[in-house]
Amino acid sequence: MSSLKFTIIQTALFWEDKGANLEALAKKIMAIAEPTEIIVLPEMFTTGFSMQPALFAENMEGPTVQWMRRLAETKKSIITGSVIIEENGNYYNRLIWMLPNGELGYYDKRHLFAFAGEHEFYSEGNKRLIASVKGWKINLQICFDLRFPVWARQQLATSNKELNTENTNVAGLEYDVLLYVANWPEKRNHAWKTLLTARAIENQCYTIGVNRVGLDGKNMMHSGDSMVVGPLGEILYHCAYEEDIFHITLQKEELIKTREQFPFWKNADFFNIEL
C-alpha cells in the first residue's frame, strides 16, 4: 500500500499584490527542507478573494503559471492552488494542478460565491478534476464548493444493477482524497470545520482544507482553520489564526481498512449530475 505526503501552506495574503504574494510564497516553498509530493496553496493565492479579474487575470502562459512550473520542477513536487485566469473573454477562479515535469491540469470553480458577487465577474466551471498520483485519486475543489455535497459525492464505478452486491469493491470508488483550497472567512468558520468533517465521513475519504489567515482588503478576517480529516471524521490536523507549514503523510492502507471494515459506501445512491 502506498503513502502520499502533502505540505499545507496556511498563509496571510497581500491584498491584490501579485508580486508580494509570489515573492513571499516562493520563500516559504523554497524553505521546505524535507521531500514532499504535493504542496497546497490557498484559493486566489496571488491576490486574495478579488472581484477585479480585469485587473489581475492572466492566461495559462502567464507569469503565475510559469512561476508554479519553475517551483514544481525545482522542488520535484506537485504545486496546487487557485488563481484568476482569463480564457476566451471569460474569467475563471481556476485551480492549477502543476506537475514537476511542467504538465498541468486545472479545475474551474463550479459554485461561485454569489453572496460576494463572484458570479458577476467569473464564469462557472462545468466539470470536476480528479487527479491521479501514485495510485491515489484526488478530487480537487474550491472553497464555496464545500457547501454542495452532491458535487463532491463519491460515485461507484458500477452500474445501478451491480450496486449493493458482493461484486462491488473498494476499488470501485471514485477518489481517495477530497481537497479544498479556500478564502473562507472567520465568521463562518464553524460551517467550514463542520462541512470538511462531514465530507470526509460521507465519502469515506481523507479530506483536506487549506485556507488563508489574516485580514483582506475588505476588512474580512480569515482564521485559517486548515484541516486534514480522516475517513471516520477524525481530525488529523487543525491550525487556526497562525501562519503554518504542515507536512502530513496519508496512508492508503488505513483508508482501505476503514472502507472494508465499514462498507457503508455499498449502500450509496446511484445518480447522475446534470449541468
Is 109 noted as a catalytic residue in this protein? yes
The amino acid that residue 175 corresponds to is Y
What is the enclosing helix (H) or strand (E) of 238? strand 235-240
CA 54/CA 89 separation, integer angstroms = 10
Half-sphere exposure of residue 46: CA atoms within 13 angstroms, side-chain side: 26
Nearest to 44 by CA among 35, 31, 53, 36: 53
Q: Could you tell me if 257 and 9 are in contact, meaning their C-beta atoms sit under 8 angstroms apart?
A: no
Q: Could you tell me if 250 and 4 are in contact, meaning their C-beta atoms sit under 8 angstroms apart?
A: yes
Cα 126 → chain centroid: 16
CA 60/CA 259 separation, integer angstroms = 38
CA dihedral 189, 190, 191, 196 (to 10 degrees): 90
Q: Could you tell me if 224 and 211 are in contact, meaning their C-beta atoms sit under 8 angstroms apart?
A: yes
Question: Which cell goes with 46?
Answer: 496571488
Nearest to 172 by CA among 159, 182, 184, 185: 159
CA 209/CA 240 separation, integer angstroms = 12
CA 220/CA 188 separation, integer angstroms = 11
Is 43 noted as a catalytic residue in this protein? yes
Question: Which cell goes with 28?
Answer: 516559504
Indicate which residue of 37, 58, 75, 109 is catalytic: 109
Indicate which residue of 37, 58, 75, 143 is catalytic: 143
Indicate which residue of 37, 43, 58, 186 is catalytic: 43
The residues that are catalytic are: 43, 109, 143
